[in-house]
């Protein structure tokens, strides 16, 4: 044991940090406990370790420590940090396997301490406090004001241009008083002269144009000018960016173009929908209004740095522990940029528990880079003429997020939390001068109530970022089709149709440590391949460190044959030198260790869409809809199918309180019936065509594939589990063929309720017992007009089988199509039974409610709903 320890000490002298840039390849080898616990049914690369392998751990620790020392002295600190921690891990495992001593324990602590010191130095080096020369920041803001003025000038917006030019002049002249050197002063004066000259020219030309004009002419001009600046209104229905009816200003980048989806319905909102969107615009006490085309003219240029009126975001506990100050990009970078390059590998999560959001940002960035489609940069403002997001020295940004049914406008300033060592305490880019990741994260977390984020899932986060259709697939579900799922992802991912993340479930610490995975954690899927019959996925841990340790990990010496390395363009030895959180994993291992696959689908796969926004009041209907769904929101869906069509329906519950998001107890789903678009009352009669699973996610997706050509009519029913609260929701249909969606309205507006009880002699039972049936209660009503619609409901305790009969006593026209002599409510049911009658002819009718068995005593409610008023009397 002592000889083993000497190997470590002789090969790994302890060095203090020096600077350099070279990275060399290292080869740490994974070692597992004696009995492998990966539980793979396929060939496992985990080596079985005997007692003798404890010395091998010591040997590996010595080798890795030697490489850590080399990286440390050469200045490659990121690699050194990783290697020191690997060396400490090997020594820790050696102690578990039986080789233990105070010297080894001390050495473990030394390696960990050195890694911590280097990490602190690294973050301090990456994010130093930048002290700009006096006047430099004002010069940057003046430049930005001037650029904004030029845009308004070219667009013919004289008033706005003059205002911006004037602000630039004032800023430059004020900054000249405190500028630190003559060079900056000269630049400020030249900018002021340029802005002043152009402002005076514009004022002069405006006066010349107005000279001699009549007062009413000027009034008319003013009126027309006011029309060009549309007021905020609730946007029209539709998918994607919301476009006002008013034309955009000249020179405005076409970032609000409509998608190729055709709207399958009216483009105006109803009053009810406007009210829903208004109510759910207030989230966590702040208003997030719909994103409109007029917002492309949002003012971003100011003479002083912009400060968000909503104040600073609340910090998470881990942030508070290390928090030093709030800083703007100009305080921590000498050359701040919004975007240097859109890249998934530069994204790093820190101490905020938003792994699913960071994973979502990563795959959105990868998609944009790979398919050249603005997925993430499209939501960031301000932009330049090319539509690229730009750094704003004035500190104001606008982010467009899909929240509560529609795209919404999120305004943030650029203040970011910084730690004691100058490190950012939020997600950031390893390209140290770019800040888009930090600001997009800040905007999303602002909506969510602050950095103390309760956690989410990538379906929710990706939908907010992109508006792509969320689908959740549970790997542990008994109906999970492993083969079909892999084929679908493999095909659609490479076509650019889908974004994919995966998430682990609960794990013990020991199982997570062996696997190299994080429990209940989201991972971005960067690639998927099938090579030589092997099904592989490339994943990224948002932490940008800590990787999978099983099959096809960088330490797997069994599966990474030279041929596989070549086919996948992967070098495990090179990957061993630096942990960036990216790894390959086989699909079998993924299905064993992970719980959920989240897929977000490109809505451009569909050609037609329509959305409606509604409120479901808590008082409407029973708490649980096990017996009656008649009072649930219902919709008629008519699909004109040419054959082989897809129809997807997305139900989204609006969330306005962080506690609702944190402790989500509202379980929602969508039921689909083949009932010709007619109202459904009994949840299982007829049986649902699609019986949705109630989940406590804001999104529920229902998918249908229609193979037969023709018209397909469905009834959609929104359902909750144990409804206690009023909810607001959006229902959106996507289809590859034309369709129409309409809410099934209640035609019976008039209600008359009576209460009663089957008691003693009046508990006569059903018609199967004629001797006692006649003793049941009898109610009578008169219908004075033809074509009246009725809905009659009978309710009783759930353990009682009930039904009723309606008998025509007198009819005005027995030849009418709506005439009947008697009707039964159907099979006797537990606790609830209903009958609908249409085109009922004028006359007198008796209602006889009954239980199935005689002598069954119970209270009941008999409700009459009708399209015109009726009076109900009890005869006996």
Q: What is the dihedral of CA 715, 602, 457, 730, to 10 degrees?
A: -40
Residue 521 catalytic? yes
The answer to whether the bond into 382 is cis (omega within 30° of 0) is: yes
Which residue's entry shows tokens 């084929």?
487
CB-neighbour burial class of residue 189 (10 A; exposed 0-12, middle 13-18, buried 19+): middle
- The residue from 541, 580, 628, 775 that is catalytic is 541
How far apart are the C-alpha atoms of 762 and 850, rounded to whole Å?
9
How far apart are the C-alpha atoms of 683 and 249, rounded to whole Å?
53
- What is the enclosing helix (H) or strand (E) of 508? none
**Paired sense of beta strands 829-830 and 779-783, if any:** unpaired
Residue 541 catalytic? yes
Closest CA to 350 of 456, 427, 443, 439: 427
How far apart are the C-alpha atoms of 190 and 168, rounded to whole Å?
11
Establish how many alpha carbons lie within 13 A of residue 650's alpha carbon, considering only the half-sphere containing its beta carbon. Answer: 27
How far apart are the C-alpha atoms of 643 and 638, rounded to whole Å?
14
How far apart are the C-alpha atoms of 98 and 91, rounded to whole Å?
11
How far apart are the C-alpha atoms of 667 and 171, rounded to whole Å?
55
Six token digits for residue 106? 């001390």
- The residue from 60, 77, 402, 521 that is catalytic is 521
How far apart are the C-alpha atoms of 828 and 804, rounded to whole Å?
8
Strands (E) located in 51-132: none
Q: List Cα–Cα distances, 858 to 59, 779, 851, 853, 872, in angstroms.
A: 81, 17, 9, 12, 21
User: How many distinct helices (H) and strands (E) make up the chain?
Assistant: 21, 35
Q: List Cα–Cα distances, 102 to 15, 57, 105, 722, in angstroms.
A: 21, 17, 5, 59
Task: Annotate 317-353 with three-state secondary structure.
Answer: HHHHHHEEEEECHHHHCCCCECCCCCCCCCEECCCCC
Six token digits for residue 561? 């044959």
Residue 241 catalytic? no
- The residue from 38, 172, 351, 355 that is catalytic is 355
Phi and psi for 185 in degrees, rounded to 5?
Answer: -60, -45
Establish how many alpha carbons lie within 13 A of residue 29's alpha carbon, considering only the half-sphere containing its beta carbon. Answer: 18
Six token digits for residue 578? 């630096």
Collapse the DSSP code of 552 into the 3-class scheme (helix H, G, I; strand E, B; otherwise coil) and give the result. coil
- Cβ atoms of 697 and 667 closer than 8 Å: no
Q: List Cα–Cα distances, 296 to 229, 391, 399, in angstroms.
A: 12, 16, 11
- What is the enclosing helix (H) or strand (E) of 661? helix 658-662
Positions annotated as catalytic residues are: 355, 521, 541
């Amino acid at each position: 044991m002592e000889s083993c320890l000497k190997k470590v000490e002789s090969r790994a002298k302890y060095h203090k940090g020096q600077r350099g840039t070279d990275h060399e390849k290292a080869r740490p080898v994974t070692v597992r406990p004696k009995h492998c616990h990966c539980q793979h049914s396929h060939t496992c690369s985990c080596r079985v370790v005997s007692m003798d392998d404890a010395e091998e751990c010591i040997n590996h620790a010595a080798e890795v420590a030697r490489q850590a020392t080399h990286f440390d002295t050469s200045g490659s600190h990121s690699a050194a940090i990783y290697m020191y921690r690997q060396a400490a891990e090997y020594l820790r495992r050696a102690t578990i396997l039986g080789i233990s001593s105070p010297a080894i324990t001390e050495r473990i602590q030394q390696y960990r301490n050195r890694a911590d010191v280097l990490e602190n130095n690294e973050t301090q080096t990456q994010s130093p406090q930048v002290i700009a020369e006096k006047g430099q920041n004002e010069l940057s803001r003046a430049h930005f004001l001037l650029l904004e003025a030029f845009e308004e000038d070219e667009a013919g917006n004289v008033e706005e241009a003059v205002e911006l030019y004037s602000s630039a002049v004032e800023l430059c002249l004020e900054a000249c008083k405190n500028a630190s050197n003559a060079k900056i002063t000269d630049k400020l004066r030249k900018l002021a002269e340029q802005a002043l000259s152009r402002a005076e020219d514009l004022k002069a030309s405006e006066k010349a144009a107005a000279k001699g004009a009549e007062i009413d002419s000027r009034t008319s001009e003013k009126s027309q000018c006011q029309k060009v600046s549309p007021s905020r209104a609730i946007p029209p229905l539709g998918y994607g960016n919301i476009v006002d009816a008013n034309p955009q200003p000249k020179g405005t980048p076409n970032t609000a173009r409509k998608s190729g989806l055709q709207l399958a319905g009216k483009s105006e909102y109803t009053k009810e929908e406007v009210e829903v969107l208004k109510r759910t615009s207030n989230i966590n006490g702040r208003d997030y209004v719909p994103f409109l085309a007029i917002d492309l003219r949002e003012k971003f240029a100011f003479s002083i740095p912009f400060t968000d009126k909503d104040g600073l975001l609340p910090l998470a506990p881990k942030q508070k522990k290390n928090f030093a100050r709030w800083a703007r990009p100009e305080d921590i970078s000498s050359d701040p940029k919004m975007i240097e390059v859109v890249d998934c590998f530069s994204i790093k999560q820190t101490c905020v528990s938003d792994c699913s959001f960071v994973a979502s940002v990563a795959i959105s960035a990868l998609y944009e880079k790979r398919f050249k489609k603005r997925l993430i940069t499209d939501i960031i403002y301000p932009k330049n003429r090319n539509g690229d997001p730009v750094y704003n020295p004035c500190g104001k940004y606008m982010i467009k997020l899909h929240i509560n049914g529609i795209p919404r406008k999120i305004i943030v300033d650029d203040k970011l939390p910084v730690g004691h060592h100058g490190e950012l305490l939020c997600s950031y880019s390893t390209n140290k001068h770019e800040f888009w990741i930090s600001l997009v994260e800040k905007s999303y977390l602002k909506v969510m109530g602050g950095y103390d984020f309760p956690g989410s899932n990538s379906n929710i986060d990706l939908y907010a970022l992109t508006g792509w259709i969320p689908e959740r697939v549970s790997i542990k579900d008994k109906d999970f089709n492993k083969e079909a799922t892999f084929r679908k992802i493999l095909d659609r991912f490479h076509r650019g149709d889908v974004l994919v993340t995966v998430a682990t479930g609960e794990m013990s610490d020991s199982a997570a440590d062996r696997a190299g995975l994080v429990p209940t954690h989201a991972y971005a899927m960067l690639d998927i391949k099938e090579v030589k019959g092997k099904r592989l996925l490339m994943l990224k841990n948002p932490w940008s460190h800590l990787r999978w340790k099983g099959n096809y990990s960088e330490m797997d010496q069994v599966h990474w044959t030279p041929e596989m390395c070549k086919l996948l363009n992967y070098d495990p030895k090179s990957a061993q030198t630096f942990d960036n959180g990216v790894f390959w994993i086989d699909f079998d291992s993924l299905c064993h260790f992970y719980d959920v696959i989240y897929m977000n689908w490109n809505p451009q796969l569909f050609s037609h869409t329509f959305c409606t926004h509604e409120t479901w009041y808590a008082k409407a209907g029973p708490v649980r809809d096990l017996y009656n769904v008649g009072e649930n929101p219902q919709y008629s869906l008519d699909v004109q199918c040419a054959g082989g069509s897809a129809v997807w329906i997305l139900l989204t519950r609006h969330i306005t309180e962080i506690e609702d998001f944190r402790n989500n107890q509202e379980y929602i789903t969508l039921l689909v019936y083949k009932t010709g678009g007619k109202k459904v009352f009994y949840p299982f009669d007829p049986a649902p065509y699609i019986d949705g699973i109630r989940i406590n996610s804001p999104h529920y997706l229902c998918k249908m594939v229609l193979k037969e050509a023709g018209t397909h009519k469905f009834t959609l029913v929104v359902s909750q589990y144990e409804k206690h609260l009023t909810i607001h929701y959006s229902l959106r249909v996507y289809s590859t063929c034309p369709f129409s969606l309409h809410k099934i309205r209640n035609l019976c507006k008039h209600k008359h309720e009576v209460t009663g009880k089957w008691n003693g002699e009046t508990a006569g039972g059903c018609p199967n017992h004629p001797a006692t049936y006649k003793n049941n209660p009898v109610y009578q009503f008169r219908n004075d007009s033809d074509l009246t619609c009725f809905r009659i409901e009978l309710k009783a305790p759930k353990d009682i089988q009930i039904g009723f009969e309606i008998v025509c006593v007198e009819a005005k026209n027995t030849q009418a199509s709506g005439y009947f002599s008697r009707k039964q409510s159907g099979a006797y049911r537990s606790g609830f039974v209903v009958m609908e009658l249409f085109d009922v002819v004028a006359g007198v009718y008796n209602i006889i409610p009954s239980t199935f068995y005689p002598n069954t005593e119970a209270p009941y409610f008999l409700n009459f709903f009708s399209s015109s008023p009726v009076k109900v009397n009890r005869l006996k």
